[in-house]
Structure 1
Amino acid sequence: MSGTHWLFGDQLGPEFLRADGAGGPARDAPVVMIESRAVFRRRRFHRAKAHLILSAMRHRAEELGDRVTYVKADTYREGLREAVGSGPVTVHHPTSRAALALVRSLDHVTVLPPRGFLVRQEDFRGWAGGQRGLRMESFYRNVRRDHDLLMDGAEPAGGTWNLDHENRERPPRGARTLGAPPPYRPREDAVDEEVRRDLDRWEREGDVAFVGRDGPRRFPASRREARTALRRFLSHRLAGFGAHEDAMLAGDDVMSHSLLSSSLNLGLLDPAECVEGAEAAWRAGEAPLNSVEGFVRQIAGWREYVWQLYWYFGEEYRTSNALGHTAPLPDWWDELDADAVSARCLSTVLRQVRDTGWTHHIPRLMVLGNFALQRGWDPAAVTDWFHRSFVDGYDWVMLPNVVGMSQYADGGRMTTKPYTSGGAYIDRMSDLCGPCAYRPDRRVGADACPFTAGYWNFLHRHRGALSRNARISRAVHGLDRLKDLSELLEQERDRGEGPP
């Protein structure tokens, strides 16, 4: 297929230039990359995220040398017109509906199949058509079989598909850190200096505004860095990943997590090399099965599932709001103002996001998402916040994760119950509650935990709908045993939208 090949900013690995019979660009085709200022004007992104994306794009352009035309323009349309005029262009299927609509609206652009994922969309549709419910566990097992991942013949390695029950250990008592070997840390270079100068200038000019801090870059911005980060994780950190996968420590935000999500979502790593590398480590006796299966499930299971649901559910999924939540995000949340918050768990996680643009999946779901759900915030606004605030956040990532998993706004199309809890869960799985001004076992009073009070208030607010949900109905019926329910509800009405 002739013409120039267009690389979006999340299509930066070699896979997106591979010419083969599976719908790739022409061999040695010239490349165009477009840095659109309008993208950063539309949303108030985390500064570290903007830095990472631009650094990764410019590093890729350096690698491609004379083969690439790198255009800095106001919009993609303007940049493409400047680079190729009306000449023929190919592009791999973009990762957002907006970008796909754009490229399909251009007569001279041919859209090639998506890359960067294990499962083809047509294969997912075929699987989904035969299911009574689109549950991740069933999908994950199907992926394992089809790709021969952690399989012993027709059976799962170790005789069990899912070892999640082995990956829920509390953090070690009294430990400030998990003690895992440190993750790979990239070194900034002249490209990063240039990016930081440009972002500073944009902010001075008042053209673009950011949130959060742009400290030393923590995440890979090149294929070489991403491969080094993957090797470091597989050889030094994977073995200790599983057991404390769901734990949280105030002084250890990364624990044994891989920190590879941003590299996968920029296209710098291919999911196959990640899961196959993890399986190879297990078969070589270098990592236990529970750690390897947990990591494989994150990528071959959850990541693939979220990508497929983004396209399968359709654009109307974006406006799902089964619980009727409409409250706006408060300013302290939008500004990542961790210092305004007294609740130690929430303050700690907001600080992590403010300073790095990242925190692992349990703080995202059971601290940030849990708080937003209990307060009844507009799920579309919550989705946008997660998209803007995380270095690995993209439309396809956050829409199912937030609307379906975190905010239960789809009414159960994706998950079987709302993911909400009181302070007891956070206390059990972290060291965050000990020094806190609030007590996780108190639901009323000056020291009432905002999560514990919020949990019961949430169940009361949605008693009618949730009493019919088998997985949470028992807790809903527990409302009738609360002698202080009226006091709790009045307390929550008085709390307002101020920081807890």
Structure 2
Amino acid sequence: MHWLFGDQLGPHFLAPGDGDGPGRDTPLLMIEARSVFRRRRFHRAKAHLILSAMRHRAAELGDRLTYVRADTYRAGLEEATGGRPVTVHHPTSFAAAGLVRALPQVSVGPARGFLVPRKDFATWAEEREGKSLRQEDFYRWVRRNHDVLMDGDQPAGGRWNLDHDNRQRPPRESATLPVGRPYRPREDAIDDEVRRDLDRWEKDGDVSFVGRDGPRRFPATRTEARAALKRFLAHRLNGFGPFEDAMLAADPVMSHSLLSSSLNLGLLDPAECVERAEEEWRAGRAPINSVEGFVRQIAGWREYVWQLYWYFGEEYRRSNVLRHTAPLPGWWNDLDADSVHAHCLRTVLAQVRDTGWTHHIPRLMVLGGYALQRGWDPAEVTDWFHRTFVDGYDWVMLPNVIGMSQYADGGRMTTKPYTSGGAYINRMSDLCGPCAFKPGDRTGEHACPYTAGYWSFVDRHRDRLAHNHRTSRAVRQMDRLGDLAEVRRQERARGDTPP
């Protein structure tokens, strides 16, 4: 029997491969473990999506698959197999990997759903002999080795990195981007069943969720995921690149693909996504900067985060070089956007509450930036992102939050902390215009919590930032501020109240 976890739902998890996959007639097993939802207070839409995807896949596989609903994975495995041998592809978290290795009946094969085998990444990292493991170097290595967006030994279009072309401010003349609507699935009887079960679990007090559920916005089947990919390539890829770092209050999706949850559930294979995008450029239907930006997100960043999760190891979770220990406040944990007055944070927190998703810039600069400025415990911030985002898994959020967002690793992943004052948010969005706070004000009635928070952060970590060539200028600027004492007083008074 071959065991499929709930994020191993695509056909590439059943392909024989190099002898490490199940045979065509191998019976299959899937376990829906209630304990998963007890351990964390997940977003309701995330729980719905995962269960809907698992149950849809079970319906597709029919009699070949045994679908067990149990309290724990161990109980479900015992019920289904009675101790008989089981195979499984390598799970995507330390906890799940530890579980399957502790079960003598389970044989663990290589991971699937990624472009680079872990052993190849380890070899690449070791060959660098102590040099930094920067994403840009890794990305170029992947493109060369997998012949992605390459013309011979040169990058397609003549440049490896087109970020400069992909950081445009949002258009000021419209509240939304002029692009086709994203793919939206239709719910069915399986979704109705999932919703009834979640309602019952909550009513019984068995589990507790946060956020709103429904209608389902993300694919739960391979057919839906392929339709979403097709629609993105045909109607949204063209405009993706220029505004991928921009934000609009009335358009949270912009030109983003909304494919991350499908990739992370295993409904799409990353190779097919980058190959299809490259085909659009080769056929003259999409500009190189948009295609390169999309390929970078998958073959570059997603792959890089996956590899670092395993390469850095479980102890990476405890990284906290900035010694941030403040707990997350209740309004944040409850996604209580209505209690927030700062327009950017209120808007983004409401998006998370209502959909379980925002794109990477609100995550990094609005949500992550606020947490970093306030000195919240990075492990708690990581767990929050894991629980509340539909595409959030331990392997996704641990490097993204510990390394990129909260700089808790001191620079093993990035060259500087990624946080800013209100000026950046004002430049890259329309979120500041209707706000009661002013991005240029550090103190006073209209002081922007991001601007004040930024200088407070620089002040607290002056010594570290002064010795970083990318942040030393900010320290010198701070030393010329005449109102730094008032910024300190104001930030102490703010505490953990919503801004």
Q: Return the TM-score normalized by structure 1.
A: 0.99
Q: CA–CA distance in 2 between the matches of 1:345 and 1:405?
A: 20
Q: CA–CA distance in 1 between the matches of 2:455 and 2:211?
A: 32
Please name the residue that 2:161 is paired with: 162
The runs of 5 or more residues in structure 1 that have no matched partner are none
Q: How does 1:437-448 map onto structure 2 within 5 Å?
A: 437-448=436-447
CA deviations over 1:139-162 (Å, ceiling 9, x no partner)? 000000000000010000111001
Please name the residue that 1:330 is paired with: 329
Question: What SS class does the counterpart of residue 107 from structure 2 fall into?
Answer: strand
* 1:38 aligned residue (25, 35, 40): 35
Does 2:184 align with 1:181?
A: no
Does 2:52 align with 1:55?
A: yes
CA deviations over 1:277-297 (Å, ceiling 9, x no partner)? 000000000100000000000
Please name the residue that 1:393 is paired with: 392
Aligned AA (1:424): A
Please name the residue that 1:128 is paired with: 125
Question: What SS class does the counterpart of residue 129 from structure 1 fall into?
Answer: helix
Aligned AA (2:228): A
Q: CA–CA distance in 1 between the matches of 2:437 and 2:227?
A: 42
Q: CA–CA distance in 2 between the matches of 1:150 and 1:141?
A: 10
Question: How far does residue 370 in structure 1 lie from its aligned partner after superposition?
Answer: 0.2
Does 2:34 align with 1:68?
A: no
Q: CA–CA distance in 2 between the matches of 1:426 and 1:377?
A: 21
Q: CA–CA distance in 1 between the matches of 2:364 and 2:335?
A: 17
Q: Give the RMSD, CA atoms, in angstroms.
A: 0.6
CA deviations over 1:313-338 (Å, ceiling 9, x no partner)? 01110000000000000000000000
Please name the residue that 2:98 is paired with: 101
Please name the residue that 2:448 is paired with: 449
Q: CA–CA distance in 2 between the matches of 1:387 and 1:139?
A: 25
Question: How far does residue 83 in structure 1 lie from its aligned partner after superposition?
Answer: 0.5
Q: How does 1:112-127 map onto structure 2 within 5 Å?
A: 112-127=109-124
Question: What SS class does the counterpart of residue 468 from structure 2 fall into?
Answer: coil
Does 2:20 align with 1:17?
A: no
Question: How far does residue 174 in structure 1 lie from its aligned partner after superposition?
Answer: 3.0
Please name the residue that 2:4 is paired with: 7
Q: CA–CA distance in 2 between the matches of 1:110 and 1:25?
A: 12
Q: Which runs of 4+ in 1 moved over 4 A?
A: none
CA deviations over 1:397-422 (Å, ceiling 9, x no partner)? 00000000000000000000000100
Question: How far does residue 477 in structure 1 lie from its aligned partner after superposition?
Answer: 1.5
Question: What SS class does the counterpart of residue 197 from structure 1 fall into?
Answer: helix
Question: How far does residue 23 in structure 1 lie from its aligned partner after superposition?
Answer: 1.6
Question: How far does residue 175 in structure 1 lie from its aligned partner after superposition?
Answer: 1.2
Please name the residue that 2:190 is paired with: 191
Please name the residue that 2:253 is paired with: 254
Question: What SS class does the counterpart of residue 71 from structure 1 fall into?
Answer: strand
Q: CA–CA distance in 2 between the matches of 1:244 and 1:28?
A: 47
Question: How far does residue 20 in structure 1 lie from its aligned partner after superposition?
Answer: 2.9
Please name the residue that 1:473 is paired with: 472
CA deviations over 1:206-228 (Å, ceiling 9, x no partner)? 00000000020000000000000
Aligned AA (1:111): V
CA deviations over 1:367-414 (Å, ceiling 9, x no partner)? 000000000000000000000000000000000000000000000000
CA deviations over 1:88-140 (Å, ceiling 9, x no partner)? 10000000000000000111100010000000101101111122110000000
Aligned AA (1:251): A
Question: What SS class does the counterpart of residue 117 from structure 1 fall into?
Answer: coil
Question: What SS class does the counterpart of residue 236 from structure 2 fall into?
Answer: helix
Does 2:487 align with 1:488?
A: yes
Please name the residue that 2:202 is paired with: 203
Q: CA–CA distance in 1 between the matches of 2:491 and 2:18?
A: 60
Question: How far does residue 465 in structure 1 lie from its aligned partner after superposition?
Answer: 1.0
Please name the residue that 1:289 is paired with: 288
Q: CA–CA distance in 1 between the matches of 2:121 and 2:127?
A: 10
The runs of 5 or more residues in structure 2 that have no matched partner are none
Question: How far does residue 22 in structure 1 lie from its aligned partner after superposition?
Answer: 4.8
Please name the residue that 2:411 is paired with: 412
Q: Is 226-235 or 18-27 further displaced after alignment?
A: 18-27
Q: CA–CA distance in 2 between the matches of 1:49 and 1:384?
A: 14
Q: CA–CA distance in 1 between the matches of 2:422 and 2:239?
A: 26
Q: CA–CA distance in 2 between the matches of 1:446 and 1:130?
A: 55
Aligned AA (2:238): A
Please name the residue that 1:91 is paired with: 88
Please name the residue that 1:150 is paired with: 149
- Indicate the percent of aligned positions where both proteins have the same amino acid: 75
Q: CA–CA distance in 2 between the matches of 1:391 and 1:287?
A: 28
